[in-house]
Amino acid sequence: MAQVYDRWTKKIPDGHDDDGNVKYKKVRTERWGQGKRWLARWEENGRRVSKAFDGKDAADTFIARTVTEQADGTYIAKANREVTVAEVWPTWWSTKAAKSKSLRDGYQAAWKHIEPRWGDVACAEISRHAVAAWLPTITGRYTDEEGNSLPLGESSLRKVMIVLHGVLETAVEERIILSNPVKMKDAPRQRETTRRYLSVVEVDRLREAMPHTSAQLVVDVLVHTGVRPGEAFGFQVGDLDPIRGRCRVSRDVDAKGGADDTKTGRHRDVPVGGDLLLDLENEAEGCDRGEWLLRMPDGRGWTLPRWRPIWEKAIEKAGLDDLDTYELRHTAASLAIHSGANVKTVQRMLGHRSAAMTLDIYGHLWDEELDALPKRMSEHMKAERERFEQRRLRAARHQADTKTA
């Protein structure tokens, strides 16, 4: 039976009234003035449990709510109400074992921001308002000129929200809480970045600014295939198929040189041909299938930390300041589209999950192709008329020759 008890007083017999009934009076217990006064008691799965309160009103309200929740099936066990975010984290984290290392590293980085603030907090005590108030206070590793930590970037904040939301969603599944207080619509929106597309002249300038042919080959691969930098660094000799003119994208190299799965977890073939194919064949000659296809002059494989200093000097020399290596992937997409590739071909080359995703990112480039469509149609129609006229003239000459004979 659910009830509220006073821990500081108790009733003891105090004689009888005029009708002979026992009278009671309240006296102080040995707990008087110690701890919380009011104790709410109720049954949970056949076992008596309790919770102490300072005030009777709070205890009565709690008991009333508990009785209602047990009746309508929304009750959460007392033990579960005390489960913290840090206790749920390992369960959620175990579900990410099959994800790529780079994605898991991002989740771990996000957890390092979450744990100090929410790790010891019970999941049931977290509110949407508290999380929203906390987000702007998170700082990253970068500082301003005065040495003050700068707020965490929007993409990193979004990753923090993804992890916290995921952990609390696991808490919902385990009936630790009834609903998730973290709403992803409160997360910073992933803004559409301004993409930069190099012209062929700019690509040539960048290539010439590279200090050696090994770096030039990296640029060539990125511009002609559209693979991500880590995927290019992950090419092995055995991935090159000179007969088909293809290179297999099946791994990604992280900052420490470790091989991981691709970003999407899917493998694909990208086309290579012409001078690029010849250069890659030269690189592969005499090498084992498991060796890196793209190598530094000293024979080591490329990683982003090894690539970045070379890249920074090259873009400065080429007059292409603030250019990110990833923008060569955008450049490859642009060149393919302007060369007449359709959306499905570009999707397969870039490894997007769907053609819709490719259109969302690069659809405007096909719109630009519409500008040239009238001229191309006119040229096609003109050429078709010329071919028809030539056939007509040949037929007329043939007919005349037949009559003459």
pTM: 0.62
**Average pLDDT of 274-285?**
95
User: Which is more confidently placed, 317 or 260?
Assistant: 317
CA-based torsion, 173, 177, 179, 182: positive or negative: negative
Lowest-confidence pick of 54-58, 174-178, 297-301? 174-178
Greatest mean pLDDT range, 59-68, 171-180, 232-241, 338-347: 232-241
Q: Evaluate if residue 369 carries a pLDDT over 80.
A: no
Across the chain, mean pLDDT equals 89
d(CA 104, CA 106): 5
What class is the 85-186 domain?
mainly alpha
Domain spans, the chain: 3-75, 85-186, 200-366, 371-404
Q: Look at 83-92, 148-157, 208-217 and tell me which has the smallest mean pLDDT.
A: 148-157
Instruction: Determine the pLDDT at residue 262.
Output: 76
Tell me what pLDDT residue 365 has: 86
| Angular region, 99: left φ>0, alpha ψ -120 to 50, beta rest | beta
pLDDT of residue 94: 94
Secondary structure E strands in 264-358: 268-271
Closest residue by Cα to residue 238 from 263, 257, 222, 259: 259
pLDDT of amino acid 13: 86
Question: Is it the case that residue 192 has pLDDT exceeding 90?
Answer: no
Does 75 have pLDDT greater than 90? no
Q: Do domains 85-186 and 200-366 have the same CATH topology?
A: no
- Identify the top-confidence range among 25-39, 109-123, 175-189: 109-123
pLDDT of 229 strictly over 90: yes
| Element spanning 114, H or E | helix 101-118
Sole residue written with tokens 């003109």: 382
Label residue 304 by pLDDT band (50, 70, 90): very high
Q: What pLDDT does residue 193 have? A: 67
Given a cut of 80, is residue 265 above it in pLDDT?
Answer: no
200-366: CATH topology: hpI Integrase; Chain A (1.10.443)
pLDDT tens for 200-220 read: 999 999 999 999 999 999 999
Written as six digits, the tokens of 67 are 């009785």
pLDDT digits (tens, 9 = 90+) for 104-118: 889 999 999 999 999
Read off the pLDDT of each residue in 130-137 and give the average, rounded to a whole number.
92
Please determine, for residue 151, whether its predicted confidence score (pLDDT) is greater than 70.
yes
Q: Which residue has the higher pLDDT, 225 or 256?
A: 225
In sequence order, what are the residues at sequence separation of 6 or more whose Cβ sits closer than 8 angstroms to the Cβ of residue 246?
A: 269, 270, 271, 272
Helix or strand or coil: residue 116?
Answer: helix
For residue 188, the Cα-to-chain-centroid distance in whole angstroms is 13
